[in-house]
Structures are given as C-alpha cells and as structure tokens.
C-alpha cells in the first residue's frame, strides 16, 4: 500500500503542477471519448451524456458516473451498480431524473434509482459536490446528480434527431434514439432505448452471472404560446431484467412508469424573472425471482411516488438573485411475501413538504456569495401490521443550509477559488427506517434512527488557460449520527437483517484534475482522488470508502481521427470495517491494487457523424473494486461456467464500437 502511495502521490503532484489547466477551446467535454470529467464551475461538473465514454458504461445511470473523479460504482453484476461518492453511498447521492426522485423498490437494493435511468436519452448531466445546493428534493448530502432533458424549442418548423448504435463484447448491443420536432407553437419529443448484454467474462475467462436487457420509451408534447411560456406533458415507460452475481435471486422486472406535466413562464415582472411548476407520478414495479436459474420463488415490490414542485427565480436587486420554491412528495412502498401472502401490501409511506431559498449575491465583478436554506417536514408511517412500530407515524423537521464564497483570483489569471460550508440534515430513507432493524432483537428502526447531520467544508480552485487546466476540490466533514448499516454479529437479526445505527464519523479528501495541451493535436489529462474516513464511535475506519485512484490519459485528435489511451491505477486498501456499510453494501475485506489500460479511437467524417471504438482492459486483467458486492456461491454454483470468486469481478477485455449520428 505504502509503495503505491509513494509512486502515485508524486505523479499527482507533478500532474497537477505540470498539467494545470487546459482547453480554452479544448475542454474535456469536447473529448471524442470521455475518460474523466473536471469541474466546470465551483463544485459543479456538467456532462454531455450523448458522448461516448470509456470504460464502456452499462446502459444505466450509475456506470455513467464512473468517469467522474470521486465516484465509485459498486458492482453487483452487469448492470444496476450503486453510485458511491467520496465514501458516501445509498441515498446520500441524490439522483434526479428531470428533477424527480425515483426511489427504487427492492428491499435488498437490486434497483438503485440509477437502475431506472438511461443517460443517453438526456441532454445534460450535472453533479453538484457536497451539501452545496438546497434546490432539489431528496435525501442527498454527499452529491446531487441531475439527469436533464433540455427541451428544444423551435422558431420555425424543424427537427433534431440523435441516434446511436453500439456493439460490444459479450453480445452487448445498444440502440438509442432521441427525436425532437416542433415549430413556434408546439414541440414533441420521442426517445427510445434498448440495451442488451450476455454474461460477461472476467480476465480469467470465467463467466459472471450478469446478463441484462433494458428498454425504455418516452414522449412529450408541449405548447409554446409565446417566447416566454412553455407547457408540457410527458409519459415514459421502461422495463427489463438483470442477472445478479452477488445473490441468490435475479431482477426479472424493473418496470417504471412516469407521467408528468410541467410549465414555465418567464419575464413576468422586474422582480419575477421566471416561475416553473411540475407535477409527476413515478411508479416502480420490481420483481426478483429465481426463474433465470430454473427456480420458481419470487417476490414483488412497488414504490409509487407523487410529487409536485414550484420554483421561482427572483431579481431582488441588480446584484442579488434568488430561487425560492416548494417541493411536495408522497411515496408509498408495498410488497408481497409469496410464502405467506401474494397480494401487494403497503409497508410504509413517506410524506415530505419542503421550502427552500437560494440567494446569489454578486459582491463585485470578481466575487460572489451563494447561500441557501432548506427546511423539510417529514411524516413517515409504518403501514405494516406487525412489528414494534406497526401503525405508528414519525414526524420530523430537518434543517439544511450552506454558504459559499467564490472569487476570481488576481494573483493567478483565469482562476476561480471557492470555499463553502454546508450543513445537511438527512432524513433516514426507506431502507434505513423500514427494511433494516434497530438491533439484533428485530425491533423496528423507524423511531430510533436519528437524522444524519453532515457539517462539511469544501474548498478548491479552477484554473484554465490555453495550455493548462487544473481543478482541485478538497473537503473535510464531520457527520454526527451518521447512519451505518451494521451486519456484524450482534447487530443482525436471526434472518440476517442488519441494524441501522447512528455513529459519529469524519471524512476528508480531494479530487484533482489536470490537463495539458501539448500541441494542436495532442493533449494529456489526469485525475487523482483520495478519501479517508473514520468511524469515531466504533474506533474503526469508515466503511465503503474507495482507495486512492489516479487516471492518466493521452489523446491525439486531428478533428477527423482521434486516438486515446487511458491508464487507471488504483491503490490497494488494507483498512476496512468488516460487515459495516450502507444500504447498498458492506466492507468485505482488504483489496489489492491494480492498473487497467484501455485504448480508444474516433472517426468524425463530418460534424453530424461520430464513430468511436475502444478496447477496455486491454490486457484482460482479473480484478475487483474495493467497493463491490461479494460474489454469491448460489450463482457461481448454479450457472454453468461461473466459478466462485470473493468479490464480483470486473469485466475482462471488452471491445466496443459506437456510431452516433445527429440530424437536424
């Protein structure tokens, strides 16, 4: 471990110093194949989900985040990984699709919210690090991830179509279309996606029980009576299945249906710049079963969420802007237990009303102050008929807020520095309050699990010049009543259900990215991220914190042809907290370091067409991430070609080819 630190740390420092900021007009967003994404503004990373990425992500919202420094994706099999940011997993990473929360349904967490998101049908993905925004609904405290459709509106009759097709190793193929049409009075959109893969093989050639299929369709219709008004209705549906290498059942249904209506009116008065509203309904129907391995047992769960949102943009003065709004949501979870009852019975309801306000004060041309407050009222009802809190309702009010100062630096040209303090009070989620227990006796966790209070300082720097770009993002936090999911002996029930416990923890770390334009044709990119966490209450390392990682990429791009190479180095990790973790997983033990080398190439015959190809894990290395699920002997024993492994191994050498066309 020490050795890797010694070798990686100087590389990081040299990279940071040498490769400081690049790309005045070569930003990483314009890389033909994206391998790492830097901050675009303080604490914010913006990404184009239609651009190819390496390593090839599964067609879901979690794998997409792999190219963001600081994110680790917990692997269960081929799809449906769990995003973890800076050691914070589960609901601490708030996932929003069109500013709606999609709560998965599975009590065993087969379906993270990202399992229902197909990034390429969206137009923009934004990550906000830390508790540095209060604008969005959800439980997030570590990061907010927004998948957004940026609705195109038309002055005259027109259309835009994005279409792509992908083929890859292990029978992988994806087809995606995003079509928009409209004139000055109306617009309509249609999106469709289909993604399929067979079981992949690890570097040793051993099959991993991991095949999946996902498909989605959505459409929307909108009216634009004038330049200031837009009203829209939309509907979408997606479904699929996925094999899981980490457990005894597979996900055989992931049905999401969504309807929404939204509107916006701009330029209302000198004070009111814009008002927006949205009402939506999301229903999840998830089935897990043994049918993909010849069995007959199954279980169904549903999670239905109705929500409404209103937000207004105010001009409070020439240098003061505000966003003020209200969120409402009501989420009901239900399930069956076919050995006892086959009808779906409600087990809980979460009701939330929130008010929020975020202010931006331009102090002068170079400095600004951003502040925000969010207050949330919660009503959580245990709708089960048995258990120690059956029929009871817990009421809670949570307070969150932040302040951030951003300043352009006079000492270093083209640089912005920032420092922020944020406090986030997170209401425990469905899994922490309802699925898990309070203790090994099986008492309900509903009333006992306290809200989690994150106090975090974020500071950093963004610097961009013609040759160099560098971003540094550093944080320290102290989390009181951190909800740890404890599966150690003494904390699990007879059936193995873990406890939700409150402990005090702290973490600190950083993400650094650097780019250097060597010539018109060649550029270098690098990123390094590191987090250290401590569980103070138990005097243990904090669980589910990924090891030190660095990524180094070189790209040749003559605007028609491009070639790139990526080296990802991950340090070994020896400090861990066995059987502690979060709702998505727990520490399994130490992990070894590894280096993975990948190649990519692109061909852009014209502005509308891109053909990209890559070979991920060129040397066919067998490896697993520290944050992973343990491979289940139930799948390795039953599925032919699967052999036991400790963690779920990552895919071996994976070749892929993707063609993208844009028509407008």
Question: Smaller CB distance to Cu ion: residue 62 or 542?
Answer: 62
Question: Smaller CB distance to Cu ion: residue 154 or 298?
Answer: 298
Kindly write down the DSSP assignment for every residue of 309-372, as one continuous string: EEEEEEEEETTEEEEEEEEEEEEEEEEEETTTEEEEEEEEEEEEEEEEEEEEEEEETTEEEEEE
Give me the least distance between CB of 112 and Cu ion, in Å please. Answer: 11
Tell me 57's DSSP state: P
106 is a site residue for Cu ion (CB under 5 A): yes
How many chain residues are in contact with Cu ion, going by CB under 5 A? 3
For the segment 384-413, give every residue that binds Cu ion (CB under 5 A).
Answer: none
Question: Smaller CB distance to Cu ion: residue 252 or 469?
Answer: 252
**Cα R_g (the chain), whole angstroms:** 24
Phi–psi pair at 634, nearest 5 degrees:
-65, -35
For the segment 503-562, give every residue that binds Cu ion (CB under 5 A).
Answer: none
Taking CB under 5 A as the binding criterion, the range among 203-211, 280-288, 347-355, 379-387 that sits at the site for Cu ion is 280-288
Question: Smaller CB distance to Cu ion: residue 111 or 432?
Answer: 111
Query: How much of the chain is in helix, strand and coil states, percent to nearest 5?
Result: 10, 55, 35
Give me the least distance between CB of 79 and Cu ion, in Å please. Answer: 13
Phi–psi pair at 623, nearest 5 degrees:
-160, 165
115 is a site residue for Cu ion (CB under 5 A): no
Give me the least distance between CB of 631 and Cu ion, in Å please. Answer: 18
Q: Is the distance from CB of 308 to CB of 315 less than 8 angstroms?
A: no
Question: Smaller CB distance to Cu ion: residue 33 or 334?
Answer: 334
615: tokens are: 């070979």
Give the SS3 label for residue 467: coil
Question: Smaller CB distance to Cu ion: residue 110 or 127?
Answer: 110
Q: Which helix (H) or strand (E) holds 482?
A: strand 468-486
Question: Smaller CB distance to Cu ion: residue 50 or 109?
Answer: 109
Question: Smaller CB distance to Cu ion: residue 55 or 105?
Answer: 105
Give me the least distance between CB of 244 and Cu ion, in Å please. Answer: 9
For the segment 13-42, give every residue that binds Cu ion (CB under 5 A).
Answer: none
Phi–psi pair at 277, nearest 5 degrees:
-135, 160
Give me the least distance between CB of 543 and Cu ion, in Å please. Answer: 22
Give me the least distance between CB of 241 and Cu ion, in Å please. Answer: 11
In angstroms, the Cα distances linking 31 to 44, 54, 538, 617 are 18, 11, 45, 20
Site string for Cu ion, 312-351 (x = CB under 5 A): ----------------------------------------
Give me the least distance between CB of 635 and Cu ion, in Å please. Answer: 14
Site string for Cu ion, 620-659 (x = CB under 5 A): ----------------------------------------
The residues that bridge with 529 in the sheet, in sequence order, are 511, 549
Kindly write down the DSSP assignment for every residue of 618-648, as one continuous string: TT------SSBPBPPHHHHHHSTT----SB-
In angstroms, the Cα distances linking 377 to 327, 452, 642 are 10, 15, 48
Give me the least distance between CB of 119 and Cu ion, in Å please. Answer: 22
Taking CB under 5 A as the binding criterion, the range among 26-34, 102-110, 317-325, 468-476 that sits at the site for Cu ion is 102-110
By CB under 5 A, name the one of 34, 36, 73, 110 that touches Cu ion: 110
Give me the least distance between CB of 197 and Cu ion, in Å please. Answer: 19
288 is a site residue for Cu ion (CB under 5 A): yes
Residue 91 CB coordination number (10 Å):
28
Task: List CB contacts of 256: < 8 A, sequence separation 6 or more.
Answer: 102, 116, 236, 237, 238, 239, 282, 283, 284, 285
Question: Smaller CB distance to Cu ion: residue 469 or 487?
Answer: 487
Q: In which region does residue 445 sit, left (phi positive, over 0), alpha (psi from -120 to 50) or beta (all else)?
A: alpha
Give me the least distance between CB of 422 and Cu ion, in Å please. Answer: 33
Q: Which residue is nearest to Cu ion (CB)?
A: 106
Taking CB under 5 A as the binding criterion, the range among 283-291, 306-314, 365-373, 464-472 that sits at the site for Cu ion is 283-291
Question: Smaller CB distance to Cu ion: residue 247 or 426?
Answer: 247
Taking CB under 5 A as the binding criterion, the range among 38-46, 110-118, 166-174, 396-404 that sits at the site for Cu ion is 110-118
How many angstroms separate the CA atoms of 199 and 103, rounded? 27
Give me the least distance between CB of 429 and Cu ion, in Å please. Answer: 16
> Which residues bind to Cu ion, rule: CB under 5 A?
106, 110, 288
């Amino acid at each position: 471990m020490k050795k890797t630190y010694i070798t990686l740390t100087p590389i990081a420092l040299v990279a940071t110093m040498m490769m400081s900021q690049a790309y005045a007009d070569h930003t990483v967003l314009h890389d033909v194949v994206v391998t790492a994404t830097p901050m675009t503004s303080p604490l914010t990373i913006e990404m184009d989900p239609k651009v190819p990425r390496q390593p090839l992500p599964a067609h879901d919202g979690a794998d997409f985040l792999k190219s963001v420094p600081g994110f680790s994706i917990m692997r269960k099999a081929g799809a449906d990984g769990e995003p973890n940011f800076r050691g914070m997993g589960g609901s601490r990473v708030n996932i929003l699709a069109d500013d709606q929360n999609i709560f998965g349904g599975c009590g065993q967490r087969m379906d993270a919210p990202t399992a229902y998101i197909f990034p390429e049908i969206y137009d923009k993905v934004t990550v906000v690090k830390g508790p540095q925004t209060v604008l969005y609904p959800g439980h997030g405290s570590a990061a907010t991830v927004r998948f957004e459709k940026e609705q195109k509106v038309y002055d005259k009759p027109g259309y835009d179509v994005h279409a792509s097709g992908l083929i890859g190793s292990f029978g992988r193929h994806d087809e995606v279309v995003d079509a928009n049409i409209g004139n000055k009075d109306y617009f309509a959109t249609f999106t469709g996606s289909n993604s399929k893969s067979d079981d992949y093989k690890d570097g040793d050639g051993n099959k991993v029980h991991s095949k999946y299929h996902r498909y989605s369709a959505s459409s929307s219709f909108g009216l634009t009576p004038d330049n200031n008004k837009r009203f829209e209705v939309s509907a979408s549906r997606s479904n699929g299945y996925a094999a899981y290498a980490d457990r005894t059942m597979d996900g055989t249904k992931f049905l999401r249906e969504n309807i929404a209506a939204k509107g916006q009116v701009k330029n209302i008065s000198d004070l009111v710049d814009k008002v927006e509203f949205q009402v939506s309904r999301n229903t999840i129907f998830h089935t897990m079963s043994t049918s993909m391995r010849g069995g007959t047992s199954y279980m169904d769960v549903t999670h239905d969420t109705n929500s409404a949102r209103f937000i207004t943009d105010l001009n409070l003065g020439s240098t003061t802007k505000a966003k003020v709004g209200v969120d409402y949501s009501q989420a009901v979870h239900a399930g069956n237990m076919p050995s006892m009852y086959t009808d779906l019975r409600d087990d809980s309801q979460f009701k939330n009303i929130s008010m929020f306000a975020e202010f931006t004060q331009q102090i002068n041309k170079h400095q600004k102050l951003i502040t925000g407050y969010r207050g949330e009222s919660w009503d959580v009802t245990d709708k089960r008929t048995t258990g120690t809190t059956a029929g009871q309702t817990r009421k809670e009010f949570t307070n969150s807020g932040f302040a951030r100062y951003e300043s352009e630096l006079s000492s270093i040209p083209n640089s912005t520095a920032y420092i922020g303090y944020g406090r986030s009070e997170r209401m425990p989620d469905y899994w922490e309050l309802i699925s898990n227990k309070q203790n090994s006796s099986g008492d309900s966790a509903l009333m006992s699990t306290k809200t989690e209070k994150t106090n975090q300082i974020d500071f950093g720097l963004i610097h961009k010049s013609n040759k160099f770009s560098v971003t540094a993002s550093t944080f320290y936090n102290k989390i009181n009543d951190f909800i740890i999911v404890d599966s150690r002996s003494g904390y699990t029930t007879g059936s193995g259900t873990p406890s939700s416990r409150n402990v005090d923890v702290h973490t600190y770390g950083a993400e650094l990215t650097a780019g250097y334009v060597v010539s018109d044709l060649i550029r270098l990119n690098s990123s390094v991220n590191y987090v250290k966490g401590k569980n103070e209450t138990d005097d243990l390392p904090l669980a589910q914190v990924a090891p030190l990682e660095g990524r180094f990429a070189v790209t040749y791009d003559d605007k028609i042809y491009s070639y790139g190479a990526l080296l990802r180095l991950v340090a070994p990790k020896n400090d861990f907290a066995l059987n502690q973790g979060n709702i998505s997983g727990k520490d399994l033990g130490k992990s070894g370091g590894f280096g993975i080398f990948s190649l990519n190439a692109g061909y852009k015959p014209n502005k509308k067409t891109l053909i990209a190809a890559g070979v991920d894990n060129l040397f066919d290395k067998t490896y697993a991430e520290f944050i992973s699920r343990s491979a289940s002997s139930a799948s390795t024993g039953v599925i032919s070609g699967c052999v036991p492994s400790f963690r779920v191994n990552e895919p071996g050498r994976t070749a892929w080819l993707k063609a993208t066309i844009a028509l407008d």
